[in-house]
Structure 1
Amino acid sequence: MKKKPYPLWLGGIAASVAGLCTHPLDLTKVRMQVAGDKGLLLSMRKTVANEGILGLWGGGTGTLLRQMTYSMMRFAIYDTVKAKIHTDSSPMPVWKLVAAGSVAGSVSAGICNPGEIIMVRMQGDKAKPVEKRYGYRNSIQGLYRMAREEGLATWYKGVGPNVVRGLTMNVFQIGGYDVFKAEIIKNNLLADGPVCHFMASFAAATAAATACAPADVMKSLVMSSQGAGPGVFTLIKDAYANHGVKFFFRGWTPAWIRLQPTTIITFLVLEQLKGGVDRYRKTGGTLM
């Protein structure tokens, strides 16, 4: 008998918990990319000095909106595609995991681009000069102002690099987690449990942070700019000419440091949520 799918919102809840826990690192990564802050600790000290300790959670509503749209959708699509393309009980080949991750990442990143852009703008806002700040009160008001002041098309500004990043991230993070987890269990390195989940997510996060760095840098630059701004290819050409290849890995350290706990917390929470649903169903529950 085919196992009943898990509720679609589990991934969004797990990602939201992780996003709030690691928000200071994500905010710092964006500010290093957008404002050119030098060094992780220096940037964080600057934020605390200017905005207080709660400043590290600036733009938190943008993070929640993004996690409950993009993250919820990508986990849901990933599981759905896997179920469609692999219907037997044999181990799923890597190419199918890559295919599922590619579809989930590109579709969810494209559709949910508004949540991504409002998160980036709110996180990087106070690192800018006062006259260049957006000053959004929250993510919903920010989306409304973007549409009113810059046109509805602004919601999909930077959608190209965001889709590339989303595709890459999902292949290496979600697909990578499944690959690493399966290999760990298959080779009897660890039993299926929290330690196994921790090690698989650690490996997946490292792979994802490295693969996504160039697209992440370009996404932050495009989304944080006002007005039409230069095109993506112009930004790439100018960045390479002025800074070299290293520019495309700017913010890698905070991105990696942030992605590690984000990925680990997401999958540990998600596995526990799935276990809770399984236990609920065994008692005869039918609501999930």
Structure 2
Amino acid sequence: MPRHQLHEAIATVSTKPDQTLTKYRFVDSIACTYIVSVFAASIAELVTYPLDLTKTRLQIQGEAATVSAQSKLQYRGMMATAAGIVREEGAMKLWQGVTPALYRHVVYSGVRITFYDYLRKEMAKGYTSHEVVPIWKSALCGIFAGCVAQWLASPADLVKVQIQMEGKRRLMGEKPRVKSAADAFMQILKRGGVSGLWKGSVPNMQRAALVNLGDLTAYDTIKQTLMKKLNMPDSRPVHILSSFGAGFVAAIMGTPADVIKTRIMNQPTDEKGRGKLYSGAVDCLTKTVKSEGLFSIYKGFFPCWIRMAPWSLAFWLSFEQMRLAIGTTSY
């Protein structure tokens, strides 16, 4: 072929769009998914945070370290606890500790969603576009992503729990342990070193695994049942019902680990950062059940469930609407 014809052929090929290549779009990138997930989680956290604070207070009440044998519990249930906080500490105290909670979601929700999305796409490589990845594989992806994200976010979770309990400590006449989130972080670091920031991380990860497993399997099962058995369209009513049901299952599976996590994180520590009440998750579980009964590990279950359902709904609706607004593909 003459040289001028070769040049023309190369020019013609180079001007044709390559249909096999996908144009890069930031809105479909991992970074964008991370940012959107953090914003959506922040919205959900702000809306439902008072329930999380109430749940934490319920889980701590009755603990041997905070209630003497002669005294009576100040609060008994969810509504009484919330009303007591507003009456004695002020309405804004229902959001005490929300700052480290938001910091937590910068790590937890961002990593959880993006890592899960990556893992499920890897799982789907062996299947055609008409096949559905088995639920058990998706569940494994959710469990693994949740555990990794929770481990990374555990220091922020520890700071949040300690901040949440400061209002109650002051009402009881006890000396405040921390003044702010930054102060709590520095004191934890000073007492226990870097490893002290991960106190309670094991039950935290166990809870994350159980919650992710319960949330994923329950949501998918309820949604498919409503759509196939009741012929309901894939709409917001289906999402609402599915998220509340999934929150209920996740609360059943995750509340015991959540109670143990909260107590381990809230316990006083010695000068070396070691817990004075519990040596670990198993020790905390044993002592809690022995002194307070089996159902004590479900303290805060109702607010936990009431929070999980609207949190999930608020997160996913916000997440999907934001992605739709910026022109990205559906999740």
The CA distance in 2 between the partners of 1:180 and 1:274, in whole Å, is 24
Q: Which stretch shifts more, 231-240 or 99-108?
A: 231-240
Deviation readout 1:41-72 (Å, 9 max, x if unpaired): 11112211222111111111021111221122
| Aligned ranges 1:1-288 → 2 under 5 Å | 4=28, 7-36=33-62, 37-87=75-125, 88-89=128-129, 90-128=131-169, 129-137=172-180, 139-174=181-216, 176-187=218-229, 189-227=231-269, 228-229=274-275, 230-231=278-279, 232-277=281-326, 279=327
Work out whether residues 20 and 63 of structure 1, in 8 Å CA contact, stay in contact via their aligned partners in 2.
no
Work out whether residues 12 and 68 of structure 1, in 8 Å CA contact, stay in contact via their aligned partners in 2.
yes
Deviation readout 1:110-129 (Å, 9 max, x if unpaired): 12110111111111221224
Work out whether residues 125 and 133 of structure 1, in 8 Å CA contact, stay in contact via their aligned partners in 2.
yes
Deviation readout 1:201-259 (Å, 9 max, x if unpaired): 11111110111011011000001112122222221111111222101111111111111
The CA distance in 1 between the partners of 2:224 and 2:117, in whole Å, is 16
Residue type at the aligned position of 2:137:
K
What's the CA shift for 1:281?
Answer: 7.0
What TM-score does the superposition give when structure 1 sets the normalisation length? Answer: 0.89
Residue type at the aligned position of 1:234:
D
Matched residue pairs, number?
280
What's the CA shift for 1:130?
Answer: 4.2
The CA distance in 2 between the partners of 1:107 and 1:166, in whole Å, is 9
Work out whether residues 159 and 184 of structure 2, in 8 Å CA contact, stay in contact via their aligned partners in 1.
yes
The CA distance in 2 between the partners of 1:188 and 1:82, in whole Å, is 28
Work out whether residues 70 and 109 of structure 1, in 8 Å CA contact, stay in contact via their aligned partners in 2.
yes
Please say which structure displays the higher CA radius of gyration.
2
What's the CA shift for 1:185?
Answer: 3.9
CA RMSD of aligned residues (A): 2.3
Q: Which runs of 5+ in 1 are unaligned?
A: 283-288
Residue type at the aligned position of 1:32:
L
CA distance change for structure 1 residues 163 and 236 in 2, over 3 Å: closer, same or farther? Answer: same
CA distance change for structure 1 residues 7 and 67 in 2, over 3 Å: closer, same or farther? Answer: same
The CA distance in 1 between the partners of 2:119 and 2:230, in whole Å, is 28
The CA distance in 2 between the partners of 1:211 and 1:189, in whole Å, is 29
Secondary structure at 1:151 match in 2? helix
Q: Which runs of 5+ in 2 are unaligned?
A: 1-19, 63-74
Work out whether residues 123 and 133 of structure 2, in 8 Å CA contact, stay in contact via their aligned partners in 1.
no
Q: Which stretch shifts more, 166-175 or 207-216?
A: 166-175
Identity of aligned residues (%): 28
Residue type at the aligned position of 1:105:
G
